[in-house]
């Protein structure tokens, strides 16, 4: 099974830039999207159906904001919307699809870059997300939790880390949360296969950052430990350009 995660920074904008053609060529079994910025009625689901996919969305109440989706070839046994937490579910942050004993989660962790209020919201989300995952593991131990985490875990995951002091997305408290997340039994799938530097999944639109590869690795497939031996590959598809992010991919034997 090939599972791709992609923050599309607006699914309608990405579709206008050739997203559907790329999906047809890449042919993932499951495509997890973040920052869809659309309501279900605003998406041409027939266009995905023509490619053999069904679309499941969790949109924010605020139009044109946030939102996650799972686009899948195989019909899931069950799709679960949200975290059962009205505060975060109003922003369309989490959606889960179950396939047999495997569950795939698409998550869009809040950004704190717009100011102190949103940074505080991000930290409260993280405080709620970790126990949410811990409880989920009790009933669904085989988890792939993919998406835009808006956190660079380690210095290798960000360009010029020495210049990023005090920057949201690389704050000590955010990275410490990621340490706890990892220690809870989660595996950063990409780093199992690639320990090299300068591998990023997001670049600012400003100052030619992508051309200079002045990026951040904030998009992940974290998997629970029972799945480690089933992982076949993990990669960053940095040449794919429909967004300020690029897709990240994992292949797993099921």
Q: How far is CA 228 from the centre of its chain?
A: 19
Q: How far is CA 151 from the centre of its chain?
A: 11
Q: Are 152 and 158 in contact (CB under 8 A)?
A: yes
Catalytic one among 101, 116, 148, 179?
Answer: 148
Of 46, 41, 40, the residue nearest 58 (C-alpha)? 40
Q: What are phi and psi of 180, to 5 degrees?
A: -65, -40
Helix (H, G, I), strand (E, B) or coil at 132: helix
- Give the whole-angstrom CA distance, residue 37 versus residue 175: 27
Residue 148 is a catalytic residue: yes
Helix (H, G, I), strand (E, B) or coil at 145: strand
- Give the whole-angstrom CA distance, residue 87 versus residue 154: 29
- Give the whole-angstrom CA distance, residue 135 versus residue 151: 22
The residues carrying an active-site annotation are 148
């Amino acid at each position: 099974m090939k599972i791709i995660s992609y923050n599309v920074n607006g699914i309608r904008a990405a579709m206008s830039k050739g997203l559907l053609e790329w999906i047809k060529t890449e042919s993932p079994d499951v495509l997890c999207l973040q920052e869809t910025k659309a309501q279900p009625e605003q998406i041409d689901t027939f266009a995905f159906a023509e490619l053999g996919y069904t679309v499941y969305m969790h949109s924010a109440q605020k139009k044109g904001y946030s939102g996650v989706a799972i686009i899948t070839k195989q019909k899931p046994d069950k799709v679960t919307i949200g975290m059962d937490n009205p505060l975060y579910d109003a922003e369309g942050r989490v959606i889960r699809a179950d396939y047999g004993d495997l569950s795939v989660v698409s998550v869009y962790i809040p950004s704190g870059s717009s100011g102190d209020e949103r940074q505080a919201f991000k930290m409260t989300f993280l405080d709620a997300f970790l126990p949410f995952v811990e409880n989920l593991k009790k009933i669904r131990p085989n988890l792939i939790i993919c998406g835009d985490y808006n956190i660079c875990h380690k210095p290798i995951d960000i360009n010029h880390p020495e210049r990023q002091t005090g920057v949201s997305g690389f704050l000590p408290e955010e990275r410490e949360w990621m340490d706890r997340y990892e220690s809870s039994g989660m595996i950063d799938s990409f780093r199992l296969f690639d320990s090299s530097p300068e591998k990023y999944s997001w670049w600012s639109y400003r100052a030619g950052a992508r051309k200079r590869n002045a990026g951040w690795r904030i998009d992940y497939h974290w998997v629970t430990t029972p799945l480690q031996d089933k992982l076949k590959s993990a990669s960053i598809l940095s040449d794919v350009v429909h967004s300020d992010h690029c897709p990240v991919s994992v292949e797993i034997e099921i």
